[in-house]
Each structure stands twice: as C-alpha cells, then as structure tokens.
C-alpha cells in the first residue's frame, strides 16, 4: 500500500509541471501581444510625419501651379509681381479721368470705389451681422460665439477702464469698435488670395482709409472736448491769457504753451494715419517678398508676425484715440484743483502722525 503512493504523486507533479509550462507558454504568448501593440504605435507616429510631409508637398505644388507669380522661379520677377502699388485699384468710377502730370504732390477729390473700400465694406458687414445676430439671440447659457464676443468685449472694456478710469466708460463702445474694425481690416492681408483677387486688398494699406480713420478720431476728441467743456473753456486750453493776471512773464509762458498744444493737435491725425498705413503697407511688402521667394508653407512664420503686427497697430490706434479724447475733455481747472490735494497727501505708506498716549 505504501509503495503505491509515490506513483500516485508522480502524475500530480507532472501535471504541475505541465501547468507551469502552460503558464510559461501563456507568458510567452503575452509578450508577442505587447510587441504587436507597440509596433502600430511607432508606425502611427511615422505615418503622421509622412502624411504631414505629403500635405506640405501637395500644398506647395498647388501654390506653385495656381498662385506662383509670373516668371517663377525667377526671384526678381516674382517679387515685382507680388508687390502692391501705393495707389489702390479702382473698381468703379463715374467717368475715367487721366490726371495731369504735376511736379508736386497734389491732393485731389476723385470720387471712385477702390478695392480697399470694397474690403472695408466686407469687414463692416461681417461685424454688423455677427454683433447684431448675437445681440438678438442672447441665451442664458451662452453659445460659443456669444461667449467669445462677450469675453472679447469685457477684456477690451477692462483694458480701457484700466487706462482711463471711470471717465473712459462713455467711450468704451467707440474704443472696442475701432479696435475690432482695424484688427479685422489688418488681418485681411493674411488671406492667401488677398493679393490675387483684383477687388480685395487690405484697407489699412491704403493711405486714404487711414486718413479717414484719423480724421474720425480728430473730430471725435475735439467735438467731445467742446461738448463737455463748452466752446469758451475748450479754446481757453490753447489760448490761455489768464497768466497775464499774475505777471507778463507768466502770461507769455502760458500763451506759448497753449499755442504749441494747438499746433500739435493738427499733427495727431497725421501721426495716427501714417503710423497705421506705414506698418500695414510695409507688412504687405514683406509678405509679398517672402511668398515670392519661399511659396507654400514656408512663409508661415512671417504670416504670424504680420498677424501680431496687425493686432498691435489696431491696439495702438484705438488706445491713442481714447487717450486723446480723455485729454480733450479735461480742463486745466481740474488739473489746478487736483494739484493742491495731491500735494497734501502723504507719500508712500506714511500714515497720519500718531497722537501721544495720555499720561496716567
């Protein structure tokens, strides 16, 4: 009986070994599965890179076939064909006129519709449709478009209030409208077909458009200054004779400073117009040159640079308009009254003097 026990245990040992072998075989079968899962991951990354290269190549081929400048690959002819002339293209005119050659710069009234005016109309229609559509369909749970517009308006409102304080609140709407219009007008230069379509051109690359915007700002802050202060008080900022009551020297100094400020007022629209026009026209030349030389995807860094420049120029124009308006509605009397109160205030964190504690 005892001799039969070991043979009975032997099959169990064998079965255990077979189980161990099956486990090892299962483990071995698991290893190829892990390798099989890792291989497609590596192939997916390589496939993505290959697809990106193919897309870039296809886009470059499309650009070279449909958008390549005449004379490509000659860089000189390509650059010349991509550069925009300073005068915009006339789309419609009541009667063709041939300007007479003159030896000097002449400003003429020549009614016509140019491609920059048409693009300005497109930008204005887009703004009106989007803003009016969102204003008429406000939701308690805002949509993505409503949320984006509200966030943009609130950010610009906070920025304007941070610059001008409570006095800037009546002009926040004008500040936002100017910024959005100029920014969208500047960004039309980023469209790949912007310089290939005859009726489309960046509005702010036309000196006539920027002069019109500057004149709007010029009349805005002078009209607001006259309305808020009155004609007499507003003109007294520039023609100040009150200093003669103290002495002749003070009177001459005040009068000289006022006349200097009066002359500088006429330089404000000039600087506003030429700063915006120069940056956007120069940016269009930069995009034209690098598009002619590189084509396709390679000019993308310069596209992002031009987009940033358009944003900055829109912000500068709207901020200067706001600050010029706030300066116009501020009288010299307010500055004179504010100076003594500021002089009596302690500097820094210095508090009022401490009173001595009563002695016991």
Q: What digits encode the pLDDT tens for the residues 66-100?
A: 665 555 556 566 566 666 677 888 888 776 665 55
**Distance (Å) of CA 166 to CA 10, 141, 225, 228, 230:** 96, 30, 17, 15, 21
Please say whether the beta carbons of 191 and 202 come within 8 A.
no
pLDDT at 1: 47
Q: What is the pLDDT of residue 182?
A: 96
Positions in the chain whose pLDDT score sits under 70: 1-43, 56-57, 59-61, 63-84, 95-108, 192-197, 291-292, 294-299, 332-360
Tokens (6 digits) for 217: 């700002």
In the prediction, which pLDDT does 348 show? Answer: 45
Phi-psi group of 200: left, alpha or beta (phi > 0 → left; psi -120 to 50 → alpha; rest → beta)? beta
Structure tokens at 226: 């006259």
The token duo for 327 is: 């300066």
* Rounded-to-integer distance, Cα 230 and Cα 240, Å: 15
Q: What is the pTM of this model?
A: 0.69
- Model pLDDT, residue 241: 84
pLDDT of residue 347: 44
In the chain, what's the furthest Cα-to-Cα distance? 141
Interatomic CA distance for residues 264 and 270, integer angstroms: 10
């Amino acid at each position: 009986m005892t001799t039969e026990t070991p043979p009975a245990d032997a099959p169990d040992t064998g079965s255990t070994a077979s189980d161990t072998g099956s486990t090892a075989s299962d483990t071995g079968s698991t290893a190829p599965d892990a390798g099989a899962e890792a291989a497609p991951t590596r192939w997916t990354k390589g496939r993505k890179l290959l697809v990106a290269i193919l897309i870039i190549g296809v886009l470059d081929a499309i650009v070279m076939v449909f958008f390549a400048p005449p004379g490509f690959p000659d860089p000189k002819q390509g650059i010349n064909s991509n550069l925009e002339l300073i005068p915009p293209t006339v789309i419609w005119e009541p009667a063709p006129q041939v300007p007479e050659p003159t030896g000097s710069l002449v400003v003429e009234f020549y009614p016509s519709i140019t491609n920059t005016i048409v693009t300005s109309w497109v930008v204005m229609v887009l703004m009106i449709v989007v803003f009016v559509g969102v204003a008429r369909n406000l939701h308690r749970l805002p949509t993505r478009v409503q949320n984006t517009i509200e966030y943009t308006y609130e950010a610009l409102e906070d920025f304007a209030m941070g610059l001008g304080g409570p006095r800037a609140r009546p002009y926040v709407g004008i500040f936002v409208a100017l910024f959005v219009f100029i920014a969208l007008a500047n960004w039309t230069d980023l469209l790949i077909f912007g310089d290939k379509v005859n009726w489309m051109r960046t509005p702010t690359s036309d000196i006539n458009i920027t002069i019109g915007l500057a004149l709007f700002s010029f009349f805005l802050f002078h009209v607001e200054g006259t309305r808020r202060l009155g004609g007499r008080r507003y003109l007294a900022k520039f023609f100040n004779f009150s200093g003669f009551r103290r002495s002749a020297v003070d009177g001459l100094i005040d009068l000289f400073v006022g006349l200097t400020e009066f002359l500088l007022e006429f330089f404000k629209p000039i600087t506003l117009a030429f700063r915006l026009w120069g940056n956007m026209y120069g940016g269009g030349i930069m995009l034209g040159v690098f598009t002619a030389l590189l084509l396709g995807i390679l000019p993308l860094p310069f596209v992002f640079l031009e987009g940033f420049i358009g944003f900055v120029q829109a912000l500068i124009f709207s901020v200067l308009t706001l600050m010029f308006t706030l300066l116009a509605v501020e009288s010299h009397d307010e500055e004179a009254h504010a100076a003594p109160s500021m002089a009596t205030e302690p500097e820094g964190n210095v508090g009022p003097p401490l009173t001595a504690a009563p002695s016991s």
